[in-house]
Structure 1
Amino acid sequence: MSPLVDHLRSHGDRPAVLTADQPLNYRELAEMVESFAHTLGRRRRLVLLETRNDVATVVRHLGALAGRHVVLPVPAGRDHTNLITTYRPDVVIDAAGVHVRSEAAHELHDDLALLMSTSGSTGSPKLVRLSRTNLTANAGSIAEYLQIRETDRAATTLPMSYCYGLSVVHSHLLVGAALIMTEQSVADDDFWELFTRHRGTTFAGVPYTFELLDRIGFASMRLPHLRYVTQAGGRMPPERVREYAALADRWGWQLFVMYGATEATARMAYLPPDLALTRSNAIGRPVPGGSFSLEPLDEWPEVGTGELVYRGANVMMGYADEPADLARGATLDALRTGDIARRDEHGLYEIIGRRSRFVKMYGLRIDLQQLENTLSEAGVRALCTDNGDRLAVVAGAGHDPDDVRRTAAGAAGVPAGAVDVACVHELPTLPSGKPDYPTARVLAAGAPRRTQHDGDLRRMFADVLHLNPAEITEDASFVDLGGNSLTYVTLSVRLERALGRLPADWPRLPLRELQNLPAPSRRWWQFWGSTLETSVALRAVAIVLIVGSHAELFELWGGAHILLGVAGYNFGRFCLTPLPRPVRIRHLRTTIAWIAIPSALWVAFALVVTDDYHASNLLLANKFLGPHDSMTAGRLWFVEVLVWTLIALAVLFCIPAVDRLERRHPFALAIGFLAFGMALRYGVVGVDEGRDAWFSMLAFWFFAAGWAASKASTVWQRAAVTAVLVVGLHGYFDDTLRQLLVLTGLALLIWLPAVRCPAGIAVVAGVVAEASLYIYLTHYQVYPLFGSHELVGVVAAVVVGITVSAAVTLARQWWGDRSSAGRMRRGLPLGDEPLLDQGGGEDAVGPDQARGHDAAAPRRGR
């Protein structure tokens, strides 16, 4: 029996791996690992393993190690042709399964256990050879200085193909702690729901991870079980280290800043948490079992500085460039890091320079020489260096900078927005004829930083959100900028035309990532096919059904209740975002203004020219204030339901405890409100259904159902919401067709996020959905003008609403430009302008109702 399997089994029934739906204890994990080890056979093999952060990858990785095979982990979804061609692995494990050669083809050294890539995704076949001693020593060292306990639960925020991510797995399994396996990003709500549900105590991050944490309002999150956070994978700016050290001190967890390399099986140094505030520029002290020395260099004559050299049991056996190297033993006992460092009087080390051609970005170690070779093979002669957290590329004349940028970014595995490119007539050289990299860095930094869609997308965001382009940074997303469901419709249609099919989570992607999406390939189907989000399609169809039914062109009731569900759905998406609570409340407040102010202004106009409304409609309070016998005052019931629902929720979410509860358990809280709505619907709480003032409460459950749908992330959650809809709609209306129409619309919202349709239909639907509020507000006064010409009246009402919507958009844009100009004249920075009237939430669209007030009221099941 394998010592690794014995070790796993020794922890018994303790939790080992926790996922959204597949928890494993150590005994179960040991059995699965042992079974997979038998699958690979007794003869040692080289195993190329495509990794994902899931149970299958953990079992396969540990099973290969338990069987004393040599594992080569690689990221899933990448092209591994170069590695496979060079090393000819005996076993390839990918999404299609386990592929085993009939005979083992390699001679493998007895101590060899793991091969790791050294250069990100530049395709270099150079690998780090790691022994079992390396793995055990490093895992034990990390567990010691982090003081990992059996009760710890670490989330897998980094890929297992990356030495940092793999070290999290090894160090926690070594002491019997648990892993929370997930491929979700820290920017996703689902990640934090899983983390809090499983009482996560730690997670690891590279510098970019902390940028994402800034964007989602991590500083305001309540994570009661969090013990410590680790950072490595490149230098994080000292000011950010101090920021997170202060945050850790405030909330009672610890920040460990660490320094390492694949060649040291991950870790060489750590900065004790109590020094992070005062020595944020230092890498700290050697890990237990390791030591540093400084070797003087002629090019760095400063006293007390030198190349940082590390010694310890975790130093690699050596490199591999070809299969024959896999039979070699250890070739070194010290690691020359290539970093220039100095040591202070307290024994802390600080990196002050670099002498090699490797850089770390986005958690990847990038071989700049290999990157130059890759560009050369693509026909681009270039110099590659780094400029802080960016790649700097200077290419010869005649190349398109965007083409060079995309090629370099793809080869390095970083976003195209992180690559600066300059094309010059002659590559800079030193007097000796060697490449002049300092000059190349300056040339690239001075080149325009733009990608294929940069200017167009920034202007597009500015136009739709009524912002000055100068206010929009590359790190800002649609949600960050206060986008709501009204502006979402407009922007999604325009973005799809510019970029092709959009990612489902595009509202939360920073502008930088949207700019880096590949340009749409104009194949034949893309000229007629377009993706239309279901919520947009439902809004467009529902408002047409509402107008047509009111004008007696046909009778299809139920659109308003579908729209109430859509309102809840968009409330969950655009109001309950990961942004800090004050931003959430501001977005919600301005959302209410987007609905209430246009409605009140139109009512004021209608009061002057018609007898349709009463003064109580100005306050959107006819259901509260009456008169209750009017045939027209009840027309605005949908707006009243929506506005007062949002006001009540805004008050609730001002309470920090409610905000924290929603962040921890978003679906559970939404289901709780849906249960409350159902209690109102069935009169469980004793509401007097005969009083019009409670009509809003009776219809609230449609809104809550849409909210729950937006937070449903699994099949059983969506099925649960659907079941509540079926039960709640039974007997709600006297009209069976109306019940089926509402059920169909909301079921599509739950189960089908988008549909494919001709591009022309998508554009028309987007325009109608965008104008739905104004179509609703004006149609009561428009279609009666056409008498018995019902079709003409319906078309006219839609056209008038679209025209009013366009006029309001132009007016807002004019006002925004005027405000920005005024601020510039007063010498105020545009960035100080608050994002007013850019709230995230649901704009109103009109209700469907039968003639007069009574037909709009729901019917209770008997």
Structure 2
Amino acid sequence: MHPAIPGLLLPQPKGVPFARELAAHGDRTALITAQGQLSYRELAERVAVTAERLGPVRRLVLLAGANRADALVTHLAALSAGHPVLLVPGDSESTIRSLTEAYAPDVVARPHTDGTLTLDERHPTSAHTLHPDLALLLSTSGSTGSPKLVRLSHDNLQANAESIATYLGIDDTDRAATTLPMHYCYGLSVIHSHLLRGAGLVLTERSVSDAAFWEEFRTGRGTSLAGVPYTFDLLDRVGFEQMELPHLRRVTQAGGRLAPERVARYAELGARSGWQVFVMYGQTEATARMAYLPPHLAAERPETIGVPIPGGSFRLQPVDGHGPDVGELVYSGPNVMLGYAESPADLAVGRTAEDLHTGDLARRTSDGLYEIVGRRSRFVKIFGLRIDPQRIETLLEEHGVTAYCAGDGETLAVTALGDASGESHVRRLIAQEYGLPARTLRVRAVAELPRLASGKPDYEAVRRLTRPAEETAPAPGPAEDLVRLYAEILDRADVTEDSSFVGLGGDSLSYVEMSLRLEEALGHLPADWHTRTIRDLRNLIAPVQQTPHARGGSVPRPGRGLRKALHTWTSPDSWRTRRTLETGVVLRAVGIVLIVGSHIRIFDIKGFAHILIGVAGYNFARFLLTDAPRRERVRRLWRSIARIAVPSMAWITGAVLLTDFYDPANALLLNTLLDQGNDRFDWAYWFVEALVYFLIALALLMAVPLLDRLERHHAFGVPLALMAVSLVGRYDLLDLASARPQLSPSVVFWLFALGWAAARAETVRQRALLTAVLLLTMPGLFQDQPLRTTLVIAGLGLLIWVPTLPSLGPISALAGVLASSSLYIYLTHYQVYPYLQVDFPLTALFASLLLGVGYAAVVTRAARAVRWL
């Protein structure tokens, strides 16, 4: 304790009420940590001890923040005793050093080498004049070390905590996990608002991508999760949708715009699972929050930020160049900062800001909600950090580099004068100074910086110039060079960071390879990866999850044969690589092995061909019914038909000429229509014929503008209606079936439509409806074959309900080869196994698989050589 100066009566320092009143919550649980629980009474005692050590004379305390009890105790001790806290990221040594040099704090609280928090008391009394209202200093730009700080008062902290606790409905039975850093205003607001109400904190430094986090969350009976957009990417990757979290009440989102469709999806998931989604809007300058979207509107109005928080208000200030309905969003409320600080002298200054000009352009909708429509300034938010491109230009200029910088979504685009050899230097300077992952920086060296006719920088050109496919990947290596990966697999020269798999014409014949290669790079694939842009996927890359195999290897492709698959299979590292496989890939890989093996009669497990009809419908919806214009959709449909029909007809023509097993109608894929006979080999290619017929019919239907629009507006309803109509064929009410009804396209189209509907099903109710239809209509298709019926129901049930299955690296590699070659294995195995099945059945199986993989390689290379369709 530092004694006061004799004879001098010091005024009672001001403090933050909720930090002073912790003991009022008694024995309720305050903190839940890996070391045990701490009650509010015990927390208050520890806070009091630390406050006594800080002394009665106000001093500036620099605190290296961390989601740990000792750091939180120090923070609360300073707030309760009136010591201003300069809160910095505890994991950024450069930020701690630069802000210590800039502000000369009186006390530095930071982790010791043994992990404990130490108080380095540099001045017995403050070296600064501290304004009596000053409580907290936060950076506006995360861990950049910028001396520009936001000055927040005791009243700011108390008012914002009360407002947040009110609209979220926090009470003393709540328990929130610290999913965000303490030094980040959003993460800190979670802590403050829960402590205000006597709620508990599941205090953890683990990521939501860590399985141990969810153990802590369940054990701690967590009720609340907070996340920035990247957090939701991680939630998708760890299978959050399938988790059992019985105590979860609310999920909150802020820190940047989350795509409206994802907001709506999480709102719907919450409605099914019993929790609510709160989308929130804020800035550090408003302590944390300014607006929230009431959860009952999240599904209906996900594009908006909602309404002002309790006690706050918005107005729109007109901006030149914009209509009367759009203006700069200006916020007023008791949580608006005192002002900025750029040097120690500013710590003595009182309030300099009454309202907060957010810099965001917004409009007020007819129902009273606010919607952000753009930015007035050039600030951008990346990974929750607010970045000023102008400061980056200044930084580079200090290092002798002339450059223009612009934000572009979740990345920074930089053009710099010079040659390509200097790009890595520029990228390294920015990454080190601002603490950004290198993959968020797109740098292009140019001979002349782009300018408008007026001579001003052309920032749109900066964004455009950094996007070409030949750009060097931000973090070099096969795992992260996604542009080149897409160009290689899809054989496209026009790939940019704004391209997506489906946008580039990817289909079911290439998505297996792409999904496995991407999982190597990303660690885990989001369910909607095929519709996301490369830019979005690149931001998901998690180097810490990459294994030695992922960093240096590659998933084998049909064009490369099985040699690399065998290498992967025998690699010890790869057996430790946990993966997931899309259910459709598993069904294709397992299915083709069981189909061939059953034909050889190694075993008798039938039904997978009908499962694969459903998988074909599923992939049709995912890869061919994209958001592309109608003509592009139809063009891709015909291209897909050609990719199936041409190699099939070529192979079968050879079989017709060299054997006497097939009729010419088989080569023309007309056996079903001409009904050449009932011999087993006459019907060998019924699957290919049915698939080609389905796609031709749908290509013709989708060419009709009215039908195309209908499908876009009723994505689930259209396949459901087709499935209902196709039941006429399923039960052959019009007597259209051929001599083998279960192999007739008119009979099995209902399975194709069911798979299509499964890809479009987004709710439990829709999936349950499809399951009910499957259970009611499948029995009777295969007379007196209950096992076959059960197998088809089980396989399609997996497709409906389970998007991915757990796997290991070698299994994924082998499954990828088999699944991507499955059509060609099916085509060719009829010309292999009849000659070997009696004496060498296992040899017949492996030879059939190998020949199919080889034919897949030939077709792939031939298609690329002639660039057909």
Question: Please, what TM-score do these two structures have when normalized by structure 1?
Answer: 0.58
| Matching residue within 152, 174, 190 for 1:168 | 190
C-alpha separation in 2, matches of 1:176 and 1:205: 22
1:277 is displaced (CA, Å) by: 1.6
| Matching residue within 292, 302, 313 for 2:334 | 313
One-letter code of the match for 2:98? Answer: N
C-alpha separation in 1, matches of 2:867 and 2:239: 30
**Native 8 Å contact 1:467 1:816 kept in 2:** no
One-letter code of the match for 1:506? Answer: Q
| Matching residue within 80, 87, 93 for 2:109 | 93
Pair 1:39-2:60 in alignment: no
1:238 is displaced (CA, Å) by: 1.4
Secondary structure in 1 matching 2:271? helix
Secondary structure in 1 matching 2:21? helix
| Matching residue within 260, 265, 269 for 1:238 | 260
1:375 is displaced (CA, Å) by: 2.1
1:143 is displaced (CA, Å) by: 0.4
**Native 8 Å contact 2:131 2:348 kept in 1:** yes
Matched with 1:58 is 72
Q: Deviations over 1:54-88 (max 9, x none)?
A: 11111111111122111111112211232111111
1:588 is displaced (CA, Å) by: 8.8
**Native 8 Å contact 2:18 2:195 kept in 1:** no
Alignment of 1:476-491 (within 5 A): 477=521, 480=524
1:389 is displaced (CA, Å) by: 2.1
Pair 1:408-2:448 in alignment: no
C-alpha separation in 2, matches of 1:414 and 1:826: 43
C-alpha separation in 1, matches of 2:182 and 2:275: 25
Matched with 1:738 is none
C-alpha separation in 1, matches of 2:376 and 2:522: 41
C-alpha separation in 2, matches of 1:353 and 1:510: 39
- Provide closer, same or farther for how the CA distance between residues 810 and 318 of structure 1 changes in structure 2, counting only shifts above 3 A: farther
C-alpha separation in 1, matches of 2:452 and 2:571: 64
Q: Deviations over 1:490-511 (max 9, x none)?
A: xxxxxxxxxxxx9764259998
1:593 is displaced (CA, Å) by: 11
- Provide closer, same or farther for how the CA distance between residues 292 and 93 of structure 1 changes in structure 2, counting only shifts above 3 A: same
Q: Which has the higher contact order (CA 8 A, sep 6+)?
A: 1
1:405 is displaced (CA, Å) by: 2.7
C-alpha separation in 2, matches of 1:308 and 1:246: 29
Matched with 2:228 is 206
One-letter code of the match for 1:147? Answer: G
Matched with 1:76 is 90
Matched with 1:27 is 41
C-alpha separation in 1, matches of 2:65 and 2:441: 27
One-letter code of the match for 2:41? Answer: R
1:818 is displaced (CA, Å) by: 5.2
Matched with 2:462 is 440
Secondary structure in 2 matching 1:186? coil
| Matching residue within 163, 185, 188 for 2:210 | 188
- Provide closer, same or farther for how the CA distance between residues 326 and 540 of structure 1 changes in structure 2, counting only shifts above 3 A: closer
One-letter code of the match for 1:451? Answer: P
**Native 8 Å contact 1:477 1:508 kept in 2:** no
C-alpha separation in 2, matches of 1:510 and 1:110: 55
**Native 8 Å contact 1:395 1:422 kept in 2:** yes
RMSD, aligned α-carbons = 4.5
- Provide closer, same or farther for how the CA distance between residues 404 and 180 of structure 1 changes in structure 2, counting only shifts above 3 A: same
**Native 8 Å contact 2:156 2:287 kept in 1:** yes
**Native 8 Å contact 1:156 1:183 kept in 2:** yes
Q: Deviations over 1:733-761 (max 9, x none)?
A: xxxxxxxxxxxxxxxxxxxxxxxxxxxxx
- Provide closer, same or farther for how the CA distance between residues 590 and 285 of structure 1 changes in structure 2, counting only shifts above 3 A: same
Q: Deviations over 1:680-720 (max 9, x none)?
A: xxxxxxxxxxxxxxxxxxxxxxxxxxxxxxxxxxxxxxxxx
| Matching residue within 462, 465, 474 for 1:451 | 474
One-letter code of the match for 1:252? Answer: G
| Matching residue within 249, 252, 268 for 2:271 | 249
- Provide closer, same or farther for how the CA distance between residues 439 and 326 of structure 1 changes in structure 2, counting only shifts above 3 A: same
- Provide closer, same or farther for how the CA distance between residues 384 and 461 of structure 1 changes in structure 2, counting only shifts above 3 A: closer
C-alpha separation in 2, matches of 1:77 and 1:410: 13
- Provide closer, same or farther for how the CA distance between residues 414 and 474 of structure 1 changes in structure 2, counting only shifts above 3 A: farther
Q: Deviations over 1:163-210 (max 9, x none)?
A: 000000000000011111111111111111111111111111111111
1:39 is displaced (CA, Å) by: 1.8
**Native 8 Å contact 2:88 2:143 kept in 1:** no
**Native 8 Å contact 1:478 1:507 kept in 2:** no
Alignment of 1:367-766 (within 5 A): 367-399=388-420, 400-446=422-468, 448-449=470-471, 450-455=473-478, 470-471=514-515, 477=521, 480=524, 505-507=545-547, 574=578, 583=581
**Native 8 Å contact 2:66 2:90 kept in 1:** yes
**Native 8 Å contact 1:422 1:447 kept in 2:** no
One-letter code of the match for 1:172? Answer: H
- Provide closer, same or farther for how the CA distance between residues 331 and 246 of structure 1 changes in structure 2, counting only shifts above 3 A: same
C-alpha separation in 2, matches of 1:315 and 1:440: 35
**Native 8 Å contact 1:458 1:469 kept in 2:** no
Q: Deviations over 1:261-291 (max 9, x none)?
A: 0000010011111111221111111000000
Alignment of 1:349-360 (within 5 A): 349-360=370-381
Secondary structure in 2 matching 1:401? helix
- Provide closer, same or farther for how the CA distance between residues 437 and 451 of structure 1 changes in structure 2, counting only shifts above 3 A: closer
C-alpha separation in 1, matches of 2:67 and 2:108: 18
- Provide closer, same or farther for how the CA distance between residues 808 and 388 of structure 1 changes in structure 2, counting only shifts above 3 A: farther
Alignment of 1:123-202 (within 5 A): 123-202=145-224
One-letter code of the match for 1:453? Answer: P
C-alpha separation in 2, matches of 1:589 and 1:197: 36
- Provide closer, same or farther for how the CA distance between residues 330 and 817 of structure 1 changes in structure 2, counting only shifts above 3 A: farther
- Provide closer, same or farther for how the CA distance between residues 816 and 182 of structure 1 changes in structure 2, counting only shifts above 3 A: farther
| Matching residue within 325, 350, 354 for 1:329 | 350
One-letter code of the match for 1:60? Answer: T
Matched with 2:247 is 225
C-alpha separation in 1, matches of 2:485 and 2:450: 38
**Native 8 Å contact 2:31 2:203 kept in 1:** yes
Unaligned segments of structure 1, at least 5 residues: 483-501, 515-535, 542-565, 605-614, 617-765, 772-806, 830-862
C-alpha separation in 2, matches of 1:14 and 1:170: 16
C-alpha separation in 1, matches of 2:334 and 2:305: 20
1:134 is displaced (CA, Å) by: 0.2
One-letter code of the match for 1:53? Answer: N
Unaligned segments of structure 2, at least 5 residues: 1-11, 113-117, 490-509, 527-541, 555-566, 604-808, 815-846
- Provide closer, same or farther for how the CA distance between residues 276 and 432 of structure 1 changes in structure 2, counting only shifts above 3 A: same
1:808 is displaced (CA, Å) by: 14
1:480 is displaced (CA, Å) by: 3.5
Matched with 2:286 is 264
| Matching residue within 348, 354, 368 for 2:369 | 348
C-alpha separation in 1, matches of 2:50 and 2:436: 34
**Native 8 Å contact 1:389 1:418 kept in 2:** yes
One-letter code of the match for 2:56? Answer: R
**Native 8 Å contact 2:254 2:280 kept in 1:** yes
- Provide closer, same or farther for how the CA distance between residues 401 and 7 of structure 1 changes in structure 2, counting only shifts above 3 A: same
Matched with 1:488 is none
C-alpha separation in 2, matches of 1:276 and 1:46: 42
Secondary structure in 1 matching 2:467? helix
